[in-house]
Chains A and B, each alone.
Chain A
């Protein structure tokens, strides 16, 4: 036990002596949070919309107003009849063009199907899909109004029908930052956990100090635990820091219990540290360890965890692979605790899988380390 503390104390001293990497360890997550929090904004609002109203009637103005009042669209141009509409998209004056053809009101009057056209810039597929959805909703809302007006005029009332009243729980405004913060935490913890341990062990290999340690009567458990504990503590501190920042800047509060959060995070970090150790048993240079650590932790946690891309939408073979990414499970738990205020009970299977992952990588790292000794 004394030896374990000696290793941990030494490691902590070395971390403190190296303000640059300490800053990286703490500053990098904060930087990522701000960057991703603002930049990775999936909310689509205030889309520049060009409106070509060739009808100039009350009815046509109503349709345009419905688009503008939704706040999803801002009118950026009002081209005349002769103007080339695709140029507006090309010059990026507008992302979408709404065309109300001549005779729109007349068609409505005559109970013929009236048409409006929407030209859409599909280069940004994500935005385009969202815009398409919004436009569809706005048009069908307008339809209902038109219909009820017509019925009223005919002396009838539209009293039957389905009232669609969606209510979104946990993230009522569907703000993506709420959704992103847990993902970011998962990503950052994985990155710092893996890299810090991998680098700290490989550094000893590079310097040759590992030989000196191996010539001391210290067990691999005391050595591994002593090396990982400081980084575990530091990573937890970084997590707390991110959560505090997310709350301060983006107003994301933790609805669930902090203790549950701690338990899940510890389990997740254990896996990350284990993975870092495993890398350190495989390579001998810090540069290589850094690259493998980055590739092995950042990319899966970013791309295959459901953080940025929905797992549901991936091809099946890729979905299978995502099961090997611990961030996937952690993210589900984290979103549950932070956004829903859930307890750990409904997530026992995810916790189990995290524990399995941690046991597996730590076990593998220990086996590899033992083999290196022989």
Chain B
């Protein structure tokens, strides 16, 4: 399972479309399942199942008819048994005669997934499959993906949720159409060349201002009641000094400090930092040009 992560408009969907041969790249080469996505498109479609970002089935056809249609245009001859099996797997057998438009959001998504699996592809390409799906359905959906993965299906997906990205074997971070880094989620976190301080303090607004001032231009991110301050990698003694200074300054400003500690970065920290870094680089390039 390979996850493509990046902010909105970073080129995730575009990348997928290029991989699928729905878009011809201006430069470079792509091989999907060892095939040229555009030139060997027909062959590719037999081996790939694609679930686009929007719910793209026919709302005015029922569950059975939708699956039957996609089976037929994929040239699948004997799809009835496969359809029954798939619907059974997602526990949708009771809703077979219901029009797709009348299904709940989670069920629509599952139906769309089943429609992409009817021709038993080797590769499943999912574009933000759980965006706009309620948390329970989202968990259901991921159970389903785990099961498919165990059955040997390769999955390529994009996601804006980093908890989902952490379930992937490999992730790629992209921004403004550029690949920032790509590795296993753990390795990405481990390879980060910075350090992270977590500050829990109240009132938070004042704490943010103080931390910003003390850490001087370093990034401060708010996660719920926690503040994450990213710092360049330094020695343990220096870190202790920074921590002490923070504690002092916060207290002086009348902020009650609950905790300040050094933590291991999560994928989210890595992600945000990488994007910030890329932004700073772009700003630098623009200035260089001007």
Contacts and interface: CB of A to CB of B under 8 A. Distances in A.
A211 B70 contact: no
Interface string A204-247: 00011101111111100000000000000000000000000000
A211 B50 CA distance: 9
Contact of A374 (B38, B61, B73): B38
A209 B74 contact: no
Contacts of B50: 211-212, 215
Given A17-B60, A208-B54, A215-B48, A3 B75 contact: yes
A297 B48 CA distance: 40
Contact of B73 (A7, A14, A211, A373): A7
A215 B20 contact: yes
Contact of A14 (B46, B54, B58, B70): B58
Given A212-B70, A217-B75, A374-B38, A10 B61 contact: yes
Interface string B248-287: 0000000000000000000000000000000000000000
Interface string B88-123: 000000000001000000000000000110000000
29 contacts: A2-B72, A3-B72, A3-B75, A6-B68, A6-B72, A6-B73, A7-B73, A10-B65, A10-B69, A13-B60, A14-B61, A207-B54, A207-B56, A207-B58, A207-B59, A208-B52, A208-B53, A208-B55, A208-B56, A209-B56, A209-B58, A211-B50, A212-B116, A215-B22, A215-B48, A215-B50, A216-B45, A217-B46, A217-B74
A211 B21 CA distance: 11
B24 interface: yes
Interface in A10-31: 10, 13-14, 17-18
A40 to B, nearest CB: 37
Contacts of A6: 68-69, 72-73
A208 B43 CA distance: 22
Contacts of A217: 42-43, 45-46, 73-75
A14 B60 contact: yes
B56 A212 contact: yes
B73 A216 contact: yes
Interface in A345-374: 373-374
B57 interface: yes
Contacts of B72: 2-3, 5-6
A350 to B, nearest CB: 38
Nearest to A17: B60
- Interface residues of chain B: helix, strand, loop or mixed (majority): mixed
Contacts, number: 71
A267 B153 CA distance: 49
Contacts of B99: 17
A140 to B, nearest CB: 67
A293 to B, nearest CB: 21
A14 B101 CA distance: 13
A18 B70 CA distance: 21
A203 to B, nearest CB: 10
Nearest to B99: A17
B57 A209 contact: yes
Q: Considering residues B59, B69, B99, B116, which has the most beta carbons from chain A within 10 angstroms of its beta carbon?
A: B69
Contacts of B59: 207
Nearest to B59: A207
B65 A13 contact: yes
Contacts of A373: 41
B56 A215 contact: no
Contacts of A10: 58, 61, 65, 69
Nearest to A6: B72
Contacts of A211: 22, 50, 52, 56
Nearest to B51: A212
Contacts of A7: 73
A209 B115 CA distance: 12
A10 B64 CA distance: 12
A256 B48 CA distance: 55
Contacts of B65: 10, 13
Contacts of A13: 60-61, 65
Contacts of A18: 60
A3 B46 CA distance: 14
A18 B101 CA distance: 13
A3 B24 CA distance: 26
Contacts of B24: 374
B52 A212 contact: yes
Contacts of A214: 22
Given A207-B54, A209-B57, A217-B45, 15 more contacts: A3-B75, A5-B72, A208-B52, A209-B56, A212-B50, A212-B52, A212-B56, A212-B115, A215-B45, A215-B49, A215-B50, A216-B70, A216-B74, A217-B42, A217-B75
Nearest to B56: A208
Nearest to A3: B73
Contacts of B57: 209, 212
Nearest to A207: B56
Interface string A135-156: 0000000000000000000000
Contacts of A212: 50, 52, 56-57, 70, 115-116
